[in-house]
Chain A
Amino acid sequence: MTDAPRSVFPHRHLLGIEGLSPLDIQALLDLADEQVEVSRQIEKSKSTLRGRTQINLFFEASTRTQSSFEIAGKRLGADVMNMQVASSSVKKGETLIDTAVTLNAMRPDIIVVRHHAAGAVHLLAQKVDCAVVNAGDGAHEHPTQALLDALTIRRNKGRIEGLTVAICGDILHSRVARSNMILLAAMGARVRLVAPSTLLPPGIARLGFETFTSMEKGLKDADIVMMLRLQRERMNGSFVPSVKEYFRFYGLDQEKLAFAKPDALVMHPGPMNRGVEISSDVADGAQSLIREQVEMGVAVRMAVLEALASHLPNR
């Protein structure tokens, strides 16, 4: 009974933060806290998922997230298989369903999916019998990233409730931002969104989030400054004029960080564009939690896999 998962998580899949209650989130974070300790031991293996098959199905390249899920699965004793599907060979809709049906026939227990189209993971979840974890779908959600961010915040600040968190940068295209906004708000944080108007989703202010187009104003007295990655193809005239201009007005450097609280912490989901959305001295500075976020990533994914395992059919 030592490694038996607890039935605290009432969901069969983890498709997004949307739909999770604060209690669900808290349970996952508590579980993740325990996994941090497991990961820090010399003997890192558990047997929760022994004999189980975990398929990491990535339609979009992501070495970091995939490795994190792979390590998490292996530490829980699962047989992990990585499948890279070149997005060019997959044409949405039917082909995705075909893939799902094929995979399902291999009888996996958990499928971890990343897909470039929002909603693709939900579609796949309808077609398979096993648990599905969303590892990022389009610009929609990236729930494990939000959970690992929350865990990092909670471990450093002791709480999430009442904190002011500024999420800055390319909000429009960011699944990380979406999951974080929902999670942090649900847990009682005050969420601010800071970006040029071209990178703010239309109507976002009406959803109850404070929006700022000035870093100085948006960062004022913030406890947490969460930077987002700006994809280079989205710069140069389309959404913002240039890298230089973006860094000048929206890149996090010491000068802008000084507007936040003196003990404010800096986060970034990685990989970073140094000198674009964040300066090197801030990224590597004393206030940065960026490396810790990576460690928490493994713990959170172990927690998620373990929580979902409680719903898998018994052997």
Chain B
Amino acid sequence: MSNGLILFKNARLIDPASDREERGGVLVRDGLIQAVGPQVTEASDAQAIDCGGQVLAPGLIDMRAFIGEPGGPYRETLKSAGEAAAAGGVTTVVSMPDTSPALDDPAVIDFIVRRARDTSIVNVRPAAALTKGLEGREMAEIGRLREAGAIAFTDGARSVTNAQVMRRALTYAGDFDALIIHHVEDPDLVGQGVMNEGEFASRLGLPGIPREAETVMLERDVRLVRLTGGRYHAAMISCADSAGIVRNAKDRGLPVTCGVSINHLALNENDIGDYRTFLKLSPPLRHEDDRQAMIEALADGTIDVIVSDHNPQDVENKRLPFAEAADGAVGLETLLSAALRLVHSGRLSLPRLLRAMSTRPAEILGLPAGRLAVGAPADLIVFDPDAPYVLDKRQLRSLSKNTPFDEARLEGQVSTTMVAGRVVFQRDTM
């Protein structure tokens, strides 16, 4: 294995951090990138991987994935999530604290860090609970949790409805330069709603969720950020008005960033079709106009990151009438393929797309990854952006199979994934 020296050659290098796009290679030693560029072609003492002209880019960083450990290992374990992530080109996963028990105690964060190190083939960085028990009433121990290894603070799929709690959390988190990630959805406005409010919901006879459930909460948060100066990231936005709110906040120089899920970029409410519960999500899939607005906001930089919102649900929670089924879809393994639809349709350049899935998340989270630079961690992926395939959910590595892309025609597959200088995934080629 040539003293840990690995050479990727004959690659199409794309590094969104430096706007690099050229043919060349990457030399990896001891888990770090030692050289990168067109001059990197040979290294006699290295193990060589010929990329065959495929894209070599920084590994994807997914800022939002729900993993069942601890408490729900039948849905997903750190091990199975790691395998799914590696196959999808995701080298770092930010795990949500909605576990049982919730990640609101330094000892539990420590458990996740150790367990992930021992069982997962990709990096798992836990986000800790923002409030104790995810109940939205009392701030969690942000300082101690951060010391234990929490990378950000969020109540996961829940929103903090109490504005005073949010204000204090933003204020207090600022002392630790801690990032607060918030699910922006006012539960009172959601009410009994199960899908986007509008004509299609009326036709299906399902109670709707207005866009204002999102915009009211987001607007409140932006004002609290202005008051406190805390670092804030809206986990996922889904409608045009939300993009406007974030755009205004950024124009005013506020420390506000936001994400969008791959589902809201690739799908709209009509995909629910005949009550398909795998498309029951939170926030709900919106109107096509909103989807188009999300793509535009991503292209102009208003939306910073794309997340998988990987949320495995077992069959019992999904094989129910639409209104009663659990929210969520798996997404780690299909993240890149689904996102490449935007590139193939000409809406987004490949570097822009990769920026939203690796460079920007790394910047927001303060990670050294997300770039092809000498000294950066060798978290890399090689993929063929044009490789066509039909997704078969039975082939997914996740323990749960609730993908909205089952039987979808997708283009673009990861062939090699490297984490910290170690090849953790290599696709079998015929």
Contact = CB atoms under 8 A, between A and B. Distances in A.
Interface of A: 196-198, 213-214, 236-242, 244-245, 248-249
A237 B138 contact: yes
Interface string B360-374: 000000000000000
Nearest to A235: B138
A241 B137 contact: no
Nearest to B132: A237
A237 B175 contact: no
Interface of B: 131-132, 137-144, 165, 168, 171-172, 174-175, 228
A238 B165 CA distance: 7
Contact of A196 (B137, B141, B144, B175): B175
Contact of A249 (B138, B143, B165): B143
A249 B171 CA distance: 15
Contacts of A245: 141-144
Closest 6 CB pairs of A and B: A237-B138, A213-B175, A245-B141, A241-B141, A197-B171, A241-B139
Chain B's interface: helix, strand, loop or mixed, by majority?
helix
A280 B137 CA distance: 32
Nearest to B140: A241
Contact of B137 (A213, A237, A248): A237
20 contacts: A196-B172, A197-B171, A197-B174, A198-B168, A198-B171, A198-B172, A213-B175, A214-B175, A237-B132, A238-B138, A239-B168, A239-B172, A240-B139, A241-B132, A241-B138, A241-B140, A241-B141, A241-B143, A244-B144, A245-B144
Given A245-B144, A248-B144, A237 B139 contact: yes
A198 B142 CA distance: 13
A213 B176 CA distance: 9
A238 B175 contact: no
A198 B168 CA distance: 6
Nearest to A249: B143
Contacts of A249: 143
B143 A238 contact: no
Contacts of B138: 236-238, 241
Contacts of B174: 197, 213
A248 B175 contact: no
Contacts of B175: 196-197, 213-214
A237 B131 contact: yes
Contacts of B137: 237
B158 to A, nearest CB: 16
Nearest to B104: A241
A230 to B, nearest CB: 14
Q: Max chain B CB contacts within 10 Å: which of A214, A236, A241?
A: A241
Contacts of A236: 138
Contacts of A214: 175
B171 A241 contact: no
